[in-house]
């Protein structure tokens, strides 16, 4: 059972990813009234507050290097019953940005946590990509080293959900090249650049084409890469299914277990496999 809520309130505030007009009224109010604003970069957040006419608001640096130490400061302020707002440089804090550990600590201490929904590069790129949105996964930044990057992509080769990645300009071309090698050159991809900003750009095509474009153009800016999920494997023929079922039964596994394993692996209705296994078992 969690502790009873205290008077403290931690508010995660979504800030613009490029266009200042995307800041909500609720976000502005949270920034104007919080006793403290924990931010990834005090200079960048200071400029945002200045543009909003909210100069001289109390700021506390909260980045990857200070989230633990300054997170303790935030928890102390919350324990006093104060409201603390949390922002990242852009978008929703906690998404490939600091905030995740602070939210967990605040919740464990019994403080209230609220989120002021706002701009998100992940969702903006996803819904604008034209790729499937019903099921998707966010993978953040790929590893810097190629060996580690290829290892992670190998794990995602058969992922059927749409995948969303962040990438920096100097690693975009090699990342797209490795994506093409891991997923196949014809896999569909959309590369979104500088979302909501003046030079916003969308590139749509195949991974091979995207890798060639990035290598030739050397595009600058911040990137979100949206990759189509893997196509389901072709359904096995009746003979293939019978052979796999027979092999499974030969191991001594039950009809139920064989049906469940093959149905999941081959994307075949479990009832279909069960009927084949039952027939072979009886015959």
- pLDDT, tens digit (0-9, with 9 covering 90-100), for 24-70: 999 999 999 999 999 999 999 999 999 999 988 999 999 988 888 99
CB 15 within 8 A of CB 118: yes
Between CA 118 and CA 128, with CA 123 as vertex, the angle to 5 degrees is 120
**What does the pLDDT look like over 84-130, one tens digit per residue?**
999 999 999 998 888 999 999 999 999 999 999 999 999 999 999 99
Domain ranges for the chain, please list them. 9-119, 122-227, 238-282
The pLDDT value recorded for residue 1 is 34
Sign of torsion over alpha carbons 165, 169, 175, 176:
positive
Token digits of residue 135? 């099921």
Average pLDDT over residues 185-205: 97
User: Does the pLDDT of residue 264 top 90, yes or no?
Assistant: no
User: Does the pLDDT of residue 206 top 60, yes or no?
Assistant: yes
CATH architecture for segment(s) 9-119: 3-Layer(aba) Sandwich (3.40)
User: Does the pLDDT of residue 283 top 90, yes or no?
Assistant: no
The pLDDT value recorded for residue 6 is 57
Most confident of 88-102, 203-217, 245-259: 203-217
**What does the pLDDT look like over 146-156, one tens digit per residue?**
999 999 999 99
pTM over 0.85: no
Q: In the structure, what pLDDT confidence band is assigned to residue 137 with cuts at 50, 70 and 90? A: very high
The pLDDT value recorded for residue 87 is 96
What span, in angstroms and rounded, lies between the C-alpha atoms of 281 and 245? Answer: 10
CA atoms within 13 A on the CB side of 197: 16
Q: In the structure, what pLDDT confidence band is assigned to residue 3 with cuts at 50, 70 and 90? A: very low
- For residue 36, give the nearest of 98, 86, 89 by alpha carbon: 86
User: Does the pLDDT of residue 5 top 60, yes or no?
Assistant: no
Average pLDDT over the chain, rounded to whole?
93
The pLDDT value recorded for residue 234 is 81
CATH 1.10.3720.10 fits 122-227, yes or no: no
HEC assignment per residue over the chain: CCCCCCCCEEEEECECCCCHHHCCHHHHHHHHHCCEEEECCHHHHHHHHHHCCCCCCCEEECCCCCHHHHHHHHHHHHHCCCEEEEECCCECCCCCCCCHHHHHHHHHCCCEEEEECCCCHHHHHHHHHCCCCCCEEEEEECCCCHHHHHHHHHHHCCCCCEEEEEECHHHHHHHHHHHHHHHCCCCEEEEEECCCCCCCEEEEEEHHHHHHHHHHHCCCCCEEEEECCCCCCCCCCHHHHHHHHHHHHHCCCCHHHHHHHHHHHHCCCHHHHHHHHHHHHHC
């Amino acid at each position: 059972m969690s502790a009873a809520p205290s008077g403290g309130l931690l508010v995660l505030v979504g800030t613009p990813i490029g266009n200042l007009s995307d800041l909500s009224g609720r976000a502005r109010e949270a920034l104007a009234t919080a006793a403290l604003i924990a931010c990834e970069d005090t200079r960048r957040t200071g400029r945002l507050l200045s543009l909003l006419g909210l100069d001289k608001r109390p700021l506390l640096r909260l980045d990857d290097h200070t989230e633990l130490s300054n997170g303790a400061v935030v928890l102390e302020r919350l324990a006093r019953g104060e409201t603390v707002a949390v922002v990242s440089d852009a978008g929703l804090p906690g998404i490939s940005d600091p905030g995740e550990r602070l939210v967990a600590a605040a919740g464990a201490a019994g403080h209230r946590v609220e989120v002021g929904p706002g701009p998100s590069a992940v969702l903006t790129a996803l819904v604008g990509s034209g790729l499937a949105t019903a099921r998707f996964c966010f993978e953040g930044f790929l590893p810097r080293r190629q060996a580690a990057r290829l290892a992670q992509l190998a794990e995602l080769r058969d992922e059927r959900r749409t995948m969303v990645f962040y990438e920096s300009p100097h690693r975009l071309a090699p990342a797209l090249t490795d994506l093409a090698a891991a997923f196949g050159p014809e896999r569909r991809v959309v590369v979104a650049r500088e979302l909501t900003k003046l030079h916003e750009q969308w590139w749509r095509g195949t991974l091979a084409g995207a890798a060639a474009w990035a290598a030739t153009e050397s595009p600058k800016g911040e990137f979100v890469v949206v990759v189509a999920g893997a196509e389901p494997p072709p359904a096995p023929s009746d003979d293939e299914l019978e052979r796999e079922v027979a092999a499974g039964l030969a191991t001594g596994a039950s009809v139920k277990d064989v049906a469940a394993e093959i149905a999941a692996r081959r994307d075949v209705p479990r009832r279909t496999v069960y009927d084949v296994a039952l027939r072979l078992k009886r015959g």
